[in-house]
Amino acid sequence: MKGRPIDPEQPVGDIRTMEDVLDSTLIPQRSSALMLGLFTGAALLLASVGMYAVLSATAASVSGRARE
């Protein structure tokens, strides 16, 4: 089954490059990935600060007991 022939008199409305089409369709995935990356970075920062605080408090406690 053959398709219909293209009408040369038909006006072309929305002309965009393939890069523009891909950019507009990938916006939701890119924003989700960006948000996931930001939250991951914040979690890593909080975990690092927490580990530093625990190790620092433990070191201070151990060094304080050694003098007793």
Q: Structure pTM?
A: 0.61
Within-domain flag for 16:
no
Q: Is 19 contained in some domain? A: no
Say how many Å lie between the first and final Cα of the chain, rounded.
Answer: 94
Q: Is residue 34 part of a domain?
A: yes
For residues 9-35, average pLDDT: 92
Mean pLDDT of 4-14: 83
Does residue 62 lie within any of the structural domains? Answer: yes
The answer as to whether 61 is a domain residue is yes
Where in the sequence is the domain holding 62, given as residue range(s)?
29-67
Q: Is the pLDDT of residue 68 over 80?
A: no
Using only C-alpha atoms, what is the Rg of the chain? 30
